[in-house]
Amino acid sequence: MLANGNAKLKLAVYTVSFVLLALAPLFMSDFRLSLLGKFLAYAVLAIGIDLIWGYTGIMSLGHGVYFGLGAYCMAMHLKLSASGGELPDFMSWSGVEKLPWFWAPFQNAGFALIMALAVPVAVAFILGYFTFRNRIKGAFFSILSQALVIITVTLFVGQQGFTGGTNGLTNFDTFLGFNLRSPSTKLFFFYMTLAVVLLVLVLAVLLVKSRMGHILTAIRDGENRVRFIGYNPVAFKVFIYCVSAALAGLAGVLFVLQEGIISPAQMGIVPSIEMVLWVAIGGRATIGGAVLGALITNAAKTTFSEAYPEWWPIMLGAMFIVVVLFMPKGIVGTIAHYLPRWRKPKLSAVVAARELPPRGEISSP
């Protein structure tokens, strides 16, 4: 009865939250709405991190790479569309005389979208397979993921003629014939991003409640035990890591369509660590908490930077410290921890007595 009541409460909270988000264009300016759309794109990424960290126990500090790869794949298509069939401007400035062979297929939007998911998955599969097979985990895997960030950022900065260097890719005009600067197009992308968040959230909840979700949680709590009872943790860890990378790439696509720029700075170490903090603040192993953490953290970052341009990093850092010290389970995790206690006194004595097993059936731990 208690679990059923909590499930209904969660459903009500999710429904009200998404209704309010759907009504956001009615009371928000175009600028604020664009920011909210960007934060929702981050929420997709946060769900992916929660799946591997909160439910599987894999802390990745390199998800900025997968986010950036997805964004760059879509940005390449947008840049070619803006160039009108000619060589992109940054290539001409860098002395490139002919469109590189690996750029040419990105003239097709469908190909760009597929690669925005496939490239992050391919990189995640290679890294995940060889590290998980060798039982590298914990802090060692986190360090390896940061090494991947350093390598990727250095490569993208150094290959200026092909990637735009530190400036990245920007100055996009249209997508599938729609003007990216048009308010109606921005509104469409906002609702599209909101729909993607809802779909990803539902699929993630179904995944964690399925048999596979229970196996992932078991791997987090005791990987050796999972191995001893006949499961192969490597296969499950590689799978969920690839799923998380695909969600990061999808978030990059949604981001670049709304923000209009992607650069190596947005896939570096600091952004990658911030992505993990979104989940920590919202609550690990709570899919809704990942979404809430992404929205609250980025909204706070924007608010602090606008109101206190000199002090906002300190204020944001103080918020992180307060959450870690006083709410180690995150916002949603803390609420979920105390909510059953608030609801339990409402149970009748008869129901409470029925929940206890007979004395003879109580076994010692």
3-state helix vs strand vs coil in the chain, percent to 5: 80, 0, 20
66 burial type by CB count under 10 A (0-12 exposed, 13-18 middle, 19+ buried): buried
Which range is least confidently modeled, 31-45, 174-188, 337-351?
337-351
The answer to whether position 278 is within a domain reads no
Within a domain: residue 25? no
Among 226, 210, 163, smallest CA distance to 51 is for: 210
Asked if the model's pLDDT at residue 215 lies above 60, the reply is yes
Map tokens 């959230």 to a residue. 201
Residue 276 lies in a domain: no
b (16+ CB within 10 A) / e for 234-243: bebbbebbbb
What pLDDT is recorded for position 345? 46
Instruction: Identify the three-state secondary structure at position 310.
Output: coil
Please state, rounded to an integer, the average pLDDT across all residues of the chain: 88
In a domain, 314, yes or no: no
- Taking only the tens place, the pLDDT of each residue in 37-49 is 999 999 999 999 9
Q: What is the pLDDT of residue 201?
A: 95
Terminal CA-to-CA distance of the chain, rounded, Å?
26
Q: Does some domain include residue 293?
A: no
Mean pLDDT score, 336-349: 56
Domain carrying residue 150: 30-95+102-269
CA distance 292 to 198: 13
Note the pLDDT of residue 276: 93
Looking at the 3D structure of the chain, how many domains does it have? 1
Mean pLDDT of the region 152-174: 92
pLDDT of res. 365: 38
325 domain residue, yes or no: no
169-170 and 261-262: which strand pairing?
antiparallel
Residue 304 lies in a domain: no
Q: Cα(4)–Cα(12) distance, rounded to whole angstroms?
A: 12
Please indicate, yes or no, if residue 345 is contained in any of the structural domains: no
Q: Is 356 helix (H, G, I), strand (E, B) or coil?
A: coil
pLDDT at 362 over 50: no
Spatial contact of 228 and 114, defined as CB atoms under 8 Å apart: no
Q: How crowded is residue 155: how many other Cβ atoms within 10 Å of its Cβ?
A: 12
> What's the CA gap between 92 and 98, in Å, rounded?
9
pLDDT band per the 50, 70, 90 thresholds, residue 349: very low
* Per-residue pLDDT tens digits for 273-322: 999 999 999 999 889 999 999 999 999 999 988 888 888 888 888 888 88
Question: With 70 as the cut, is the pLDDT of residue 340 above it?
Answer: no
Query: Mind listing the pLDDT tens digit for each residue in 226-268?
Result: 999 889 999 999 999 999 999 999 999 999 999 999 999 999 9
Q: Which residues lie across from 169 on neighbouring strands?
A: 262
With pLDDT > 70 as the criterion, what percentage of the chain qualifies? Answer: 91
Q: Can you tell me the mean pLDDT for 45-63?
A: 95
